């Protein structure tokens, strides 16, 4: 007879009591996951998160309350979870998992690592650390009503980087600076503007009109004559944006007239840009102030973040945010810099107002603060029930691993609507490692196409190795028979090389570079393919199977797995046939125990039902209207 401790077999319950688990992330999924872990019987947990609690977190991260705003997520999550199970041993780190202190030896002390992250860089890093430490990793993520859980085990399954991921969408510089046609272009421009004025200046984030735009073939002398018609206060001087702003004392009205009047008038002199496009309309602060009506200043009904301000309302918001950010800069001292954060009210007000004013100038419909924040922070609205379901699935996959049933682990997709089999949860068999993966292959190797005469060592380090291939502290050696060190992770050792071109070190078509990241215990061989035919604004391309080319979109995760595995029956349930009744019983008892111990679960279900009811009601209303 099987001996049970609560809802678990005694052997499994004993292993939960002794095993050490690392949870990376204490946000939406992390809060639910930590609660589930202690209620299931895990006793030794370490949690790490760099973030602090914001008011916007409180609607779905139920371990936090209003009194916790501004405090460490990891620390508060620990304190809240201990109220469920005071005997648990939980260690919290308010830190980045990419800190060198959390090396391979740190990861090796855990039997399981569970990811509850929201960014690809950290996911890539944890994936590599778990491969190096040979520790099972349970990866997860949510996007609105969609969610996914999968298990990664070195040598047995695909790693996180085996499959191509779509690159974050970028836009040509001339589109952002000269000819925006979508609200997202204006929002990106406003974020760039924030950095140019208050943050770290980046030449790739210039906001002034781009005179090198190939579409703008105009006569510079004629343009200068036309642009001279602008007023002197904000006259366009080709100096650094930050330098010009400092010279005005960050005067919000002078900034406004430069950005939304003088720069736009300068754009209008580029005649060819506007032959097939609607020309922008400059704004003038004084004229807008004279035309402003008292109604525009009075708040509209409804939620503040979902109101779309008028033009003068955006002007006032721009002025107020500039004044606030100017004060913050002064408090920090000379040469201080601010970092853009979507949860910083002043920074968000600045981006909202600047983006909306530019939208108006280019004849686009303006957006609410909520909409701008969603696009500026790349946020997909988080749903508490999705996080709860995914967190429960993470624990179930963890129980399979600790039971020695790794072969019964599955990748599980949570869909918004039932599939053809009327299932919301679709389990798929785990795929084996990809032979072409540049991370988990036995000898990782890639070919990079670039121009060796134009690519600097700093670009190789920052844009290719760190940004593209996810390294943290790379060391690069040229395979030239001499072992020439091109990049060293030791501070200052190869700093003099940064501004030099790759060709200055004899690197040419066919050269090979060996890049080592000792923190990640990872080595990558890079074959250099020299070319002078890259597209404009493209610094390099990765040849072959590297994840800069996203796979074609698939409508049904179940069908994806069916094709991969050769037949439609391969998308099996997430349990093996021999242990199916017992695992089903375990699932039911596990969910019941969570419900019994956690009123929040009921709140999540109620919230979900309300959302569904409202959606159905709206559809019915739309249907009646169309009739």
d(CA 107, CA 201): 36
Return the sign of the alpha-carbon dihedral for residues 20, 151, 159, 123.
Answer: negative
d(CA 128, CA 438): 11
**Residue 120, marked binder:** yes
**Residue 60, marked binder:** yes
149 contacts: CB under 8 Å, gap ≥ 6: 138, 139, 140, 390, 393, 394, 397, 411, 412
- Residues 602/595, Cβ–Cβ less than 8 Å: yes
How is the chain split among helix, strand and coil, in percent rounded to 5? 45, 15, 40
162 contacts: CB under 8 Å, gap ≥ 6: 431, 433, 434, 437, 439, 440
**Residue 119, marked binder:** yes
d(CA 317, CA 307): 13
**Residue 534, marked binder:** no
**Residue 122, marked binder:** yes
Candidates 31, 85, 130, 174; catalytic one: 174
Q: Of 33, 98, 1, which Cα lies nearest the Cα of 466?
A: 98
**Residue 347, marked binder:** no
**Residue 353, marked binder:** no
**Residue 30, marked binder:** yes
161 contacts: CB under 8 Å, gap ≥ 6: 124, 127, 437, 438, 439, 440, 470, 547
Q: Is 19 a catalytic residue?
A: no
Q: Of 119, 86, 95, which Cα lies nearest the Cα of 22?
A: 95
**Residue 121, marked binder:** yes
- Residues 543/448, Cβ–Cβ less than 8 Å: yes
Lookup: tokens for 147: 């969610």
**Residue 611, marked binder:** no
Return the sign of the alpha-carbon dihedral for residues 241, 242, 245, 246.
Answer: negative
**Residue 96, marked binder:** yes
**Residue 159, marked binder:** yes
Q: What length does the chain have? A: 627
**Residue 29, marked binder:** yes
State the number of CA atoms in the 13 A half-sphere of 147 facing the CB. 26
**Residue 73, marked binder:** yes
- Residues 3/46, Cβ–Cβ less than 8 Å: no
Return the sign of the alpha-carbon dihedral for residues 513, 517, 521, 522.
Answer: negative
**Residue 440, marked binder:** yes
**Cα separations in angstroms, 121 against 124, 132, 179, 182, 275:** 5, 17, 31, 27, 42
Query: Of all helices (H) and strands (E), which one includes residue 83?
Result: helix 73-84
**Residue 25, marked binder:** yes
Lookup: tokens for 42: 């895990």
**Residue 123, marked binder:** yes
For the annotated binding site for ATP, the residues are: 25-30, 49, 57-60, 73, 96-97, 118-123
For the annotated binding site for Zn(2+), the residues are: 159, 162, 437, 440
For the annotated binding site, the residues are: 25-30, 49, 57-60, 73, 96-97, 118-123, 159, 162, 437, 440
Residues known to be catalytic = 174
């Amino acid at each position: 007879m099987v001996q049970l401790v609560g809802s678990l077999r005694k052997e499994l319950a004993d292993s939960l009591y002794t095993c050490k688990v690392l949870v990376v992330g204490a946000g939406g999924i992390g809060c639910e996951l930590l609660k589930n872990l202690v209620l299931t019987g895990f006793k030794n947990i370490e949690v790490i998160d760099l973030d602090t609690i914001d008011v916007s977190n409180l609607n779905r991260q139920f371990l936090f309350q209003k009194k916790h705003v501004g405090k460490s997520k990891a620390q508060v999550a620990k304190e809240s979870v201990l109220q469920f199970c005071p005997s648990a041993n939980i260690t919290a780190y308010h830190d980045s998992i990419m800190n060198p202190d959390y090396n391979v030896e740190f990861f090796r002390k855990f039997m399981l690592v569970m990811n509850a992250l929201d960014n690809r860089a950290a996911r890539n890093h944890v994936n590599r650390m778990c491969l190096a430490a040979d520790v099972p990793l349970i990866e997860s993520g949510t996007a609105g009503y969609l969610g996914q859980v999968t298990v990664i085990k070195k040598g047995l399954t695909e790693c996180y980087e085996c499959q191509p991921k779509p690159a974050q969408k970028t836009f040509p510089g001339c589109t952002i600076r000269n000819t925006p046609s979508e609200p997202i272009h204006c929002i990106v421009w406003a974020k760039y503007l924030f950095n140019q004025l208050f943050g770290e200046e980046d030449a790739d984030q210039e906001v002034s009109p781009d005179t090198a735009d190939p579409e703008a073939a105009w006569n510079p002398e004629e343009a200068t004559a036309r642009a001279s018609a602008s007023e002197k206060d904000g006259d366009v001087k080709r100096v650094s944006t930050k330098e010009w702003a400092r010279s005005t004392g960050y005067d919000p009205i002078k900034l406004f007239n430069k950005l939304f009047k003088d720069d736009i008038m300068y754009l209008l002199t580029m005649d060819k840009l506007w032959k097939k496009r609607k020309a922008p309309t400059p704004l003038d602060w004084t004229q807008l102030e004279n035309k402003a009506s008292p109604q525009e200043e009075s708040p509209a009904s409804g939620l503040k973040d979902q109101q779309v301000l008028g033009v003068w309302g955006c002007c006032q918001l721009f002025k107020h945010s500039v004044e606030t950010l100017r004060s913050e800069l002064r408090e920090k001292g000379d040469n201080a810099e601010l970092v853009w954060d979507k949860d910083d009210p002043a920074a968000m007000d600045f981006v909202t107002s600047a983006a909306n004013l530019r939208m108006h100038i280019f004849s686009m419909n303006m957006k609410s603060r909520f909409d701008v924040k969603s696009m500026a922070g790349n946020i997909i609205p988080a749903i508490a029930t999705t996080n709860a379901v995914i967190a429960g699935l993470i624990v179930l996959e963890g129980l399979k691993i600790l039971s020695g049933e790794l072969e019964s682990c599955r990748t599980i997709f949570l869909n918004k609507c039932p599939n053809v089999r009327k299932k919301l949860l679709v389990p798929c068999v785990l795929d084996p490692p990809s032979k072409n993966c540049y991370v988990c292959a036995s000898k990782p190797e890639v070919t990079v196409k670039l121009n060796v005469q134009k690519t600097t060592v700093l670009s190789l380090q920052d844009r290719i190795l760190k940004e593209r291939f996810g390294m943290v502290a790379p060391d690069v050696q040229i395979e030239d028979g001499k072992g020439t060190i091109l990049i060293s992770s030791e501070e200052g050792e190869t700093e003099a090389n940064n501004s030099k071109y790759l060709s200055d070190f004899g690197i040419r078509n066919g050269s090979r570079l060996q890049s080592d990241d000792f923190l990640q215990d990872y080595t990558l061989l890079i074959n250099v393919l020299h070319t002078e035919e890259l597209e404009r604004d493209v610094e390099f391309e990765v040849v072959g199977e590297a994840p800069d080319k996203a796979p074609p979109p698939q409508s049904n995760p179940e069908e994806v797995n069916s094709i991969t595995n050769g037949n439609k029956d391969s998308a099996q349930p997430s349990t093996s046939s021999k242990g199916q009744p017992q695992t089903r019983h375990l699932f039911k008892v596990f969910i019941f125990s969570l419900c019994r111990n956690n009123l929040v679960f009921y709140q999540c279900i109620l919230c979900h039902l309300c959302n569904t009811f409202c959606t159905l009601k709206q559809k019915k209303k739309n249907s009646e209207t169309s009739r």
